[in-house]
A and B are shown apart, each in its own frame.
Chain A
Amino acid sequence: MATETHDISVTVNDTQYRRNVESRLLLSDFLRHDLLLAGTHVGCEHGVCGACTVIFDGVAVRSCLMFAAQADGHTIETVEGLAPDRDHLHPLQESMRDCHGLQCGYCTPGILMTMKAFLDETPAPDEAQIREALSGNLCRCTGYQHIVEAMKLAAERLRR
């Protein structure tokens, strides 16, 4: 089959990109290889691990289960867009650091984007809600306790 491509225009972290992509290019690979935004990690590449989570039109989704062509005309937020500038972290990132919410860091971008969308929608969550929100992100280092603590702290900081 001849390679079929599509011209797409995507807004990622407030920057508009125009690219020509193959039909079968996954959104996760598009972000990493075409836009060189390698903060979005790929783990399982079949929707189980959550490492590739990005915010698509305001909601957290698995970028490995979408095609780049589907993002045409849509808005995406990735971990690169979280921090306000080079010298400051987002409260979510600060809280992860303060609470030791990461060790190897592989799952962290997915967790940050999942929880960014969650805390935008649920600013005062209880622990059960935090654990439910986190349930689609695998972390093999921390045992999750510190991530849950970090999210409680982040929610508090974001409400201030």
Chain B
Amino acid sequence: MKPAPFRYVAARTLEQALQVKAEYGDEAHFLAGGQSLVPTMNFRLTQPAVLIDINPLAQFSGMQNQPPDGVRIGALTRYGKLERDPGIARSLPLIHQALPHIAHPQIRNRGTIGGNLAHADPASEIPAVVVALAGKLRAQSVRGERWIAALDFFVGALSTSLEPDEMLMEVELPVAQPRSGACFMEVSRRRGDFAIIGVACTVRVDQEGRCNAARIGLCNAGDMPIFAAAASESLVGRQIGKPEINEAAELVQRAIDPGGSIHASKEFQRHVAGVLTARALATANERARHGN
């Protein structure tokens, strides 16, 4: 047996899942896709007393439009389901572009968006996308529910503002608007490996092609997903050309604090963050101007 012993509870209702979580708090973990949790259990780095398997709660899988311009994705929605969704390239282009970078097909067939967000790995793609899109997340417990802004949700490496009795239920993201463009780019050692640096950005332009909104998010650039506020704001009100892009890339490099590893030094990560920011911004800007 690889993992340490635990009590397994297959949740039959949401109320039951939340009740058990309220009873055991941090001693209990929700089991969604398990693609990050189970490896750590196999190493016995994580030894929960109770596992609450929420996979039977299929009603929390899927996407729902939230008029006027939002879409809500249920926590139990698997990456594989998102990948196979024909509409997502248009409605959520950043998610669509980030998906192929997430591990491998077998992992994506099982991994869920809610499990990924609650795991809060700073190197993970979707948290950076959710931060870039200023998404919001709904948490529920036996005490009630609340919405949390993406920037308030992530508080550190593998750490969120979820209370010990709360479950992440869904994430709400804005759908792509006309005259907007998105681009996700990542450098990793091999396809499917953790990102050395990943950049998620969106740009929106007005009738004259001037930027009226821009947001840049990064993964593996610090101990949580990063929203590069100064760099994003520097673009607003300007025609985006080479100088504006270079300025934003420099501001990104200044804003981040990558950890460095045996695979990439901090200096290299900072360099890559600048290069990818410039490339992703140029691409997103082109897409915004030319309507794809």
Q: Do A and B come from one complex?
A: yes
Q: Does A157 contact B (CB under 8 A)?
A: no
Shortest Cβ distance from residue A102 to the other chain B in the assembled complex, whole angstroms:
19
Tell me whether A60 and B106 are in contact in the complex, defined as CB-CB below 8 angstroms, given that A23-B51, A47-B35 are known contacts: yes
Q: Distance (Å) between the CB of B28 and the closest chain A CB? A: 13
Partner of A23, one of B7, B38, B104, B110: B7
Q: Decide yes or no whether B20 CB sits under 8 A from chain A.
A: no
Contacts of A51-85 to chain B: CB distance below 8 A: 53, 56, 59-62, 64-67, 69-70, 72
Asked whether any CB of chain B lies closer than 8 Å to the CB of A32, the reply is: no
Q: Which of B10, B80, B107, B192 contacts A72 (CB 8 A)?
A: B10
Given A26-B2, A65-B35, also A47-B107 (CB < 8 A): yes
Q: How distant is A38 from chain B, measured CB to nearest CB, in Å?
A: 17
Counting CB contacts under 8 A, is B4 at the interface? yes
CA distance A150 to B191 in the complex (A): 22
CB pair B38–A60 under 8 Å, yes or no, is no
**Does A25 have its Cβ within 8 Å of any Cβ on chain B?**
yes
Interface assignment of B25: CB less than 8 Å from any CB of chain A:
no
B260 on interface, CB distance cutoff 8 Å: no
Interface string of A96-129 (1 = CB under 8 A from B): 0000000000000000001000100000000000
CB distance from A137 to the nearest CB of B (A): 8
Residues of B within 8 A of A135 (CB): 104-105, 191-192
Does B100 reach chain A (CB closer than 8 Å)?
Answer: yes
Report how far A64 CA is from B34 CA in the complex, Å.
10
Chain B contact-residue range equals 20 to 34
| B35 to chain A: closest residue by CB | A65
Interface of A is mostly: mixed
Q: Mark A1-14, 1 if CB is under 8 A from B, else 0.
A: 10110100000000
B3 engages A24 (CB within 8 Å) = yes
A23 touches B5 (CB 8 A): yes
Does A132 belong to the interface (CB within 8 Å)?
yes
Instruction: Determine if B5 and A136 form an interchain contact, defined as CB atoms under 8 angstroms apart.
Output: no
Could you give 18 example pairs across A and B, Cβ below 8 Å? A1-B7, A4-B8, A23-B8, A26-B2, A46-B42, A47-B39, A47-B107, A59-B109, A60-B109, A62-B106, A65-B38, A66-B34, A69-B53, A70-B10, A70-B53, A72-B10, A136-B104, A136-B107
State A60–B106 Cα separation when bound (angstroms).
Answer: 5
Chain A residues with CB under 8 Å of B10's CB are 69-70, 72
Does B6 touch A at the CB level, under 8 Å? yes
Inter-chain CA distance A118–B10, complex, in Å, is 29
